[in-house]
Chain A
């Protein structure tokens, strides 16, 4: 499992050391930071990961840091740990997308499960991102005219209907359609619909 990294941010060095030991024993690559600032300043490896975050951090709270990360577009899943938690705190954390909210001292299995879940999420997200990135590359190969046609084809219109709408010949539309299918590597219309959906869903 060395293809995954766990970041730990806690201002208690002893807690950092214990978590590093536990997680490295489970085969994770572990990077520890004493403050959110250190974490932001560090260069993170391009690997699926998970962030273990203490709720109470220097000056600011871990919950605020969670929002800050979200604003900065850092989507690493977060597992919160805290020495004093209450219900509103955990609700806020979970609503903002935290994987888990654990009270210190926690059972090691709970933490490891949460970390596994977080890394799983991150891996899926990365796979999705990679797929979309690949699609974008393919999309970039389309000509403007083809790009104009793509949503019409995906919406299930016949060549004849498209030709009428854009005032083109049916043969031209047919050529464009074949080009689009080929460039986006879509074998069927269903494939094309999925690809267009993905591209639309990820924003432009």
Chain B
């Protein structure tokens, strides 16, 4: 069987003709397999959705219980049969519930990895490399300039700054699903035991993480109590990045604007956004992780999805691996 007969791009997303399903479709379809809960991958309105239990829960939190007509939870490592095509979900290490999907038929195995990272992350199960013929990789940070530092070092910088400027509030911009909880978890691992204040948009998802046994410590809403003005001096506040440009941010005393993102590796990005304290923390693979992962899968062919495809394709060429961009549309880099 040829790889492109097993999976190929269609306007709705990546399609598997023998199994009649789509992976992470961007338009409503009959049957969708979803890698993880970020909104560009997990959309509402499909008839049936197959995803991990946690991804299904996250979709329900974001879109409401009726986000699909039927749902089915995939257990990690369990082989499912969809119209003669074998499908297996395995952790991708991106956010809670994120999975790679291995699709196998007629001796051909393709792994659609979704978004993934290789670093240790206490808020989700670690990535498991899967040997395959074709590996489909993201390319969000696919340039040799993207090399994420140790996240503990970044948190140390944040804590040092909070100690250095105790009269100011540190506002950490972090996407609501995944990054925000990872930052809180890292703070706890570093021994920070004061309450962390959170924006309302983080509340439901953070509570869900806590229910799943991920310790985020005491989280308090970053709201003013009617009548009494709470003082946020010295506090660490986590919220979606967009909130910090908003009037919402005015309640904080002389805020230090921080942004937890892989993009913060590039100084000009930090400057443009008016970020005072960039925290280079990413839920995507950096250049070294991408290339290492391609090697580990042993794939003889690589398909590159959203991001900076050309550099990764070039690297594969240099290594004698056949590679091509998939040109899927509709994927942003939510989550970083």
Q: Do A and B bind each other?
A: no
**Chain B contacts to A: CB under 8 angstroms:** none
